[in-house]
Structure 1
């Protein structure tokens, strides 16, 4: 993975020119207009070597309530639908989807329209880690009306606005009881004009670690450390009102690492470690928590860990869409915790009271939440069940 952030306005990780653009609902006459340029990136996925989606169109509307056939839509239609491996877009790599001219003003809704699966080569699919076969990824509504994202942004007159769609593949793919997979999209949209970057290094021996930017125990963005240990978290909204971020590092057989209250400045990069002084985390045995969520409607299960600096998500998984079963693999060792300082390296100390202690939280599609405290210090915990 390329650890160098690309220039958003004209970059594609695929060696091709920018896609062709067609506009609907753009400016007319002498009304002031601006340009919206859309790119896409991804957070890491769990248990997959590839997660493919085929993008055919991006739509925007000034109304958050606009329906499929309502007026006011402006479209970026790709000349040829693009099959994109989301897992190639981690660590600051982005792919350009196109641009369109819009009347100057505020917009509320974005839709990412995917092509339908047809024939023997699926447009949307997953490849499980260690295999080579593409398995179709069911997209019930995305192929018809698009993945709906409500995100206000402003297009000033005579200005190009870069908007990045961050597609969290890990939280978006749900297993079914029949061995298939369904897309439950988790996508955010961030204008680069109000965003910044966090970067750093883990030890090269811990390359491949998952790194999250979190706020209040919720993952905002994520990436994977590359072969040198470098990680890049971008774009992250930067403002006093939005607050700081917590950087959480997770990897199998390694204790979790946490750097709390990391600030982000618009257009800037905040460094939390360097190549010469990377974050090095101790080894840990792993244990597991498993159970079921009923009824078997779509639900996510998270493992949260508390320290004196806050509460952090260490791992998450979607419960099986058909059976409700889930399983999480978690470190038994205490996390290593530090508070951000611009004087590097940041000292990390052992959070001794947190060893093997987790809160397992189930979040139902209805919005209901349940939580149970568990300890994995003594071994795997089974039958940690939730009923809504």
Structure 2
């Protein structure tokens, strides 16, 4: 029942657009936050999400309607994401998103679950810079790209710590590149490098698919680097357009 109410509240966001009048003080800005992840070398990385807040330029804090719970980040990779929070804002700019984590975070390796200690500052709110100016009548979706591989730190005592590494992606102003490699099951890192030498990375999943998200519009070179002794593959002059996914097809790794 709780899940159904959450989904219905998201659907109602579109209807809320039409309830606004011409008075700017009553303007409404539908807002959604989704979660995705880059693949990592773990069986599970479970994070305990307890709250999502947005902070305006004036310092006003708005707590979004959040679906609290434990999320296995590895279930949301290579283009898969999930809705974690929605609301209709009455502020026209968002300076930060604050992700509030609980204490029930774990990582699973070789079938064994280990607790992930979390610094107290991150439990009270991990601040993510966004600096958005909102326009009335547009549904804004922000994707939190949670890098599980970089976020889990092994400690000297054999334990693990969660130090979240998260990139915010405004899907309407960025694009992505997807493709596939064969043979299926080949482990490889995919790097997209822009014409200004800025690089973005992802990993090939178990089905041979890859997706590099959050790319500013422009021209990119893709380099697929498998484990030795296999050789890297490069493709140049890939054009990325905001709001679109560029499919560069399949590559054979030899």
Change (3 A) 1:32 1:265: same
- Partner residue, 2:234: 258
1:210-225 alignment, distance < 5 Å: 210-215=189-194, 219-225=199-205
The DSSP-based 3-state class of the residue aligned with 1:87 is: helix
Change (3 A) 1:219 1:139: farther
What's the offset of the Cα at 1:62?
Answer: 1.9
Is residue 248 of structure 1 aligned with residue 223 of structure 2?
Answer: yes
What's the offset of the Cα at 1:220?
Answer: 2.9
- Partner residue, 1:120: none
Q: Distance between the aligned counterparts of 2:70 and 2:244, measured in 1?
A: 31
Contact 1:163 1:189 (C-alpha < 8 Å) held by counterparts: yes
Q: Distance between the aligned counterparts of 2:120 and 2:50, measured in 1?
A: 14
- Give the TM-score normalised by the residue count of structure 2: 0.82
In angstroms, what is the RMSD of aligned CA positions? Answer: 2.8
Is residue 279 of structure 1 aligned with residue 251 of structure 2?
Answer: yes
Contact 1:153 1:191 (C-alpha < 8 Å) held by counterparts: no
- Partner residue, 2:27: 32
Q: Unpaired runs of 5+ in structure 2?
A: 10-19
- Partner residue, 1:41: 36
Within the candidate set 85, 94, 106, 1:125 is matched to: 106
What's the offset of the Cα at 1:236?
Answer: 2.6
Q: Distance between the aligned counterparts of 1:51 and 1:217, measured in 2?
A: 31
- Partner residue, 2:66: 78
- Partner residue, 2:92: 105
The DSSP-based 3-state class of the residue aligned with 2:112 is: coil
Instruction: Indicate the structure with greater helix content.
Output: 2
Q: Between Structure 1 and Structure 2, whose CA radius of gyration is higher?
A: 1
Q: Distance between the aligned counterparts of 2:31 and 2:186, measured in 1?
A: 36
Q: Deviations over 1:68-113 (max 9, x none)?
A: xxx501112435x221111111110001012111125221211111
Q: Unpaired runs of 5+ in structure 1?
A: 1-15, 22-26, 117-122, 283-388
The DSSP-based 3-state class of the residue aligned with 1:205 is: coil
- Partner residue, 2:78: 91
Contact 2:115 2:160 (C-alpha < 8 Å) held by counterparts: yes
Contact 2:38 2:147 (C-alpha < 8 Å) held by counterparts: yes
Is residue 134 of structure 1 aligned with residue 105 of structure 2?
Answer: no
